[in-house]
Amino acid sequence: MPVDQPYPTSNEDTWRLFRIMAEFVEGFETLSRIGPCVTIFGSARTPADHKYYQMTVEVARLAAKQGYGIITGGGPGVMEAANKGATMENGRSIGLNIQLPYEQLPNPYIKTLLNFRHFFCRKVMFLKYTSAVIIMPGGYGTMDEMFETLTLIQTQKVASLPLVLMGSEFWKGLMDWLEKTMLQQGYILEADLSLMKITDDPQEAIDYISKQKETREVSANFV
């Protein structure tokens, strides 16, 4: 560490813990009252005239029509499209914004806004109160969110959670690599590939989520 950047003092760490606790408390208190939601991840760089933007608007609209709230990262691009789709059905539109060195302004379609300083607090909120996750095309951040969600599902750290990847053309190269490299070398099981549903059809995505929800409810009632 450079000499002009000393380690934080214990007092600084203590105050950092309080800030972290405050983010968790605000998130828990707000989102626990929201009701069933679908979390939608994707690139902030997707323009409004792109097919993935329009696909996101439609899948979010259909989810809201089914009674789901929509949770996004609160920024532009795919996040804006998802919040826009929710508002088209007068649905619950939630944005979990992150403070970055370059400011990310919340999009205008958010009805409930939470601001986070720490990525890990925000990640907990994305998944703790969601009934399903939809991943649209994106960059490093989207890949991080996708693989973290997959890891939690694979290790059963979350209840069975429908995970939908939309934009089959975008995901094809990754899926080929997972199957031909990661699977063949024994780093994952074949069953792990079935943890994701890939589609280009917004209605198919919502039908899949609804069917998985019904299956989980039947299983819970049976137990």
pLDDT exceeds 50 at position 222: no
Segments forming the whole domain that contains residue 206: 19-218
Task: Report the CATH number that the domain containing residue 90 is assigned in CATH.
Answer: 3.40.50.450
Could you give the CA distance from residue 84 to residue 98 in angstroms, rounded to a whole number?
A: 19
Judge whether residue 46 has pLDDT over 80: yes
**Do the domain assignments include residue 223?**
no
Whether this prediction's pTM lies above 0.85 is answered by yes
If one counts the domains in the chain, the total is 1
Looking at residues 7-12, what average pLDDT do you find? 67
| Domain presence at residue 6 | no
Question: What is the per-residue pLDDT across 181-218, written as a single tens digit (0 to 9) for each?
Answer: 999 999 999 999 999 999 999 999 999 999 987 665 53
From 195, 192, 167, select the one nearest 179 (Cα to Cα): 192
Confidence of residue 105 (pLDDT cuts 50, 70, 90): confident
Whether residue 57 is contained in a domain is answered as: yes
Structure tokens at 178: 């997972």
The answer to whether residue 90 is domain-embedded is yes
Rounded to the nearest 10 degrees, the angle between the axes of helix 140-154 and helix 119-128 is 50
> How confident is the model at residue 86, as a pLDDT?
98
Looking from the CA of 157 toward its CB, the CA atoms found within 13 Å total 10
Q: 12 in a domain, yes or no?
A: no
Each residue of 125-175: pLDDT tens digit? 999 999 999 999 999 999 999 999 999 999 999 878 999 999 999 999 999
For residue 1, tell me if it sits in a domain. no
- Hey, which residues does 84 pair with through a beta bridge? none
Q: Which two tokens stand for residue 174?
A: 């990754």
Asked whether residue 172 is domain-assigned, the answer is yes
Mean per-residue pLDDT of the chain: 90
40 has pLDDT over 90: yes
pLDDT exceeds cutoff 80 at 221: no
Q: What is the pLDDT of residue 103?
A: 60
Residue 8 inside a domain? The answer is no
